[in-house]
Chain A
């Protein structure tokens, strides 16, 4: 089993739709979780950190479910500009290593 797993997609959704991605992680001791956005072969950009209580930033909401070992990203009112690959990142506990998922591709259609 991979340490961090994501559905590669693509998720094709119409503008204005709500879409959700999940990311599962295998190490129950993991402590830090992030969502990054990556446009085609450009550098990943931090979208949001994921906190235990969940957090929201505008149209984006991130949740952590420790019992089931997954994090989620919800995007409301999708825009064409949201089309990108969304990367889940987990900090390996007890080390300084980061493990990236392979990403979920989102296409928002006009």
Chain B
């Protein structure tokens, strides 16, 4: 089954304790992205990756890191989480990340609900 998976689905942690949220897709997609969703603010893009070893900042990258060593995986790293990073996080992937074709239709993972105390 074609899908995007994220782990963990729920996480409660404390300020300053490094954590990683994994994201994996099995569709051989070039483009992957991380979003956070907060009430009243909608989904905001954190980082994206156009291909292996190619990443760039989205609109809210502060406090996050990413890496893309393999095509299928795109982990999100919080080196020193803070309470303002409490949010619902989504990973997404698409064949490409630009253009007018249907190749940039994104498919989303189930989400990770993170609480930082």
Contact = CB atoms under 8 A, between A and B. Distances in A.
Q: How big is the A interface, by class?
A: 20 to 34
Given A96-B97, A103-B42, A46 B50 contact: no
A97 B99 contact: no
A60 to B, nearest CB: 15
A43 B110 contact: yes
B117 to A, nearest CB: 20
Contacts of B59: 97, 99
B105 interface: yes
A49 interface: yes
A44 interface: yes
Given A96-B56, A100-B44, A101-B42, A32 B100 contact: yes
Indicate the size class of the contact surface on chain B. Answer: 20 to 34
A62 interface: no
A66 to B, nearest CB: 12
B108 A96 contact: no
A45 interface: yes
B104 A32 contact: yes
Nearest to B4: A43
A35 to B, nearest CB: 11
Interface in A17-35: 31-32, 34
Contact of A91 (B41, B42, B88, B104): B104
Given A100-B44, A103-B42, A41 B111 contact: yes
Interface in B37-80: 40-45, 48, 50, 56, 58-59
Contact of B111 (A32, A43, A46): A43
Interface in B82-117: 88, 90, 97-100, 102, 104-111, 113
Q: Most chain-B CB neighbours within 10 Å: which of A32, A42, A97, A98?
A: A98
Nearest to B107: A46
